[in-house]
């Protein structure tokens, strides 16, 4: 029987790498995203809208009859202090990063309970464990996802459902490149120099790659990780160990 995996935000970056990895491992992968993709079975879905997420997952269950894996990956970054964060900006980040994950987890749980098994991975960040400057709202949302992973793990362990959070550091994705571009436009810095500085900040001397995060996610949803739940799995090149 082919397992079914739902990935939110699977059209680029880490999400795209996860979709491709799970497809290679013979999962039937469904990608919920606002941007079309050639990876997985694509369903257009604004993950910041709770009703849209629930409707999309109902569609998945109606089509395939099960959900074995949920990867809640959709999210966005905001570089701003608390003073520079408007209510609208905070609402936007909470809607996608937190409420989107809430909606996806809540929607798959009844089916997973019926199956008496399931694996959920929430895409948090190293900022679930440490603070970074000018990152008030993003930091807040990623800490919330870490909490969600732990409470969900405890509440649903009796049903054979596991939930973990992956906490990437600086990963070379389109999101990363866009953030560097915005910073350089504001500061007048040279992008090549900024990229080199970012790499040098990592103890391993380089940025992480989306495929490396996908490999960790693949392990966490596999039978080999059957005794891992409620954990925060760092993949940050040693950054938070400093």
Residues labelled catalytic: 138
| C-alpha to C-alpha distance for 73 and 200, rounded to whole angstroms | 27
CA-only gyration radius of the chain, Å: 17
Phi, psi of 24 (to 5 degrees): -65, -25
CA angle 181, 173, 177 (to 5 degrees): 5
For β-strands 41-44 and 69-72, DSSP reports them as unpaired
CB 69 within 8 A of CB 27: yes
Residue 233's Cβ-side half-sphere holds a number of Cα atoms within 13 Å equal to: 22
Q: Which residue carries 């990895």 as its tokens?
A: 21
| C-alpha to C-alpha distance for 43 and 36, rounded to whole angstroms | 8
Listed in sequence order, the residues at least 6 apart from 112 whose beta carbon sits closer than 8 Å to its beta carbon are 67, 68, 118, 120, 156, 159, 161
């Amino acid at each position: 029987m082919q397992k079914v995996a739902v990935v939110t935000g699977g059209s680029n970056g880490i999400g795209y790498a996860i979709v491709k990895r799970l497809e290679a491992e013979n999962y039937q992968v469904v990608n919920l995203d606002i941007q079309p993709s050639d990876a997985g079975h694509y369903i257009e879905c604004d993950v910041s809208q709770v009703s849209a997420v629930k409707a999309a997952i109902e569609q998945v269950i109606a089509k395939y009859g099960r959900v074995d894996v949920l990867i809640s990956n959709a999210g966005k970054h905001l570089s701003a202090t608390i003073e520079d964060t408007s209510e609208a900006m905070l609402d936007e980040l909470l809607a996608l990063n937190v409420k989107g994950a809430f909606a996806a987890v809540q929607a798959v749980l009844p089916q997973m309970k019926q199956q008496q098994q399931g694996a959920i991975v929430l895409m948090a960040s190293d900022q679930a464990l440490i603070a970074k400057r000018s990152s008030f709202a993003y930091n807040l949302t990623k800490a919330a996802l870490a909490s969600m992973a732990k409470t969900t793990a405890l509440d649903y362990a009796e049903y054979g459902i596991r939930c973990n959070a992956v906490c990437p550091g600086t990963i070379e994705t389109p999101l990363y490149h866009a953030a560097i571009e915005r910073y350089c436009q504001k500061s007048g810095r040279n992008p090549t120099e900024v990229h080199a500085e970012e790499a040098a900040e990592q103890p391993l001397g380089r940025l992480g790659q989306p495929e490396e995060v996908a490999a960790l996610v693949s392990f966490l949803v596999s039978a080999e990780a059957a005794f891992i739940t409620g954990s925060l799995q760092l993949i940050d090149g040693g950054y938070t160990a400093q």
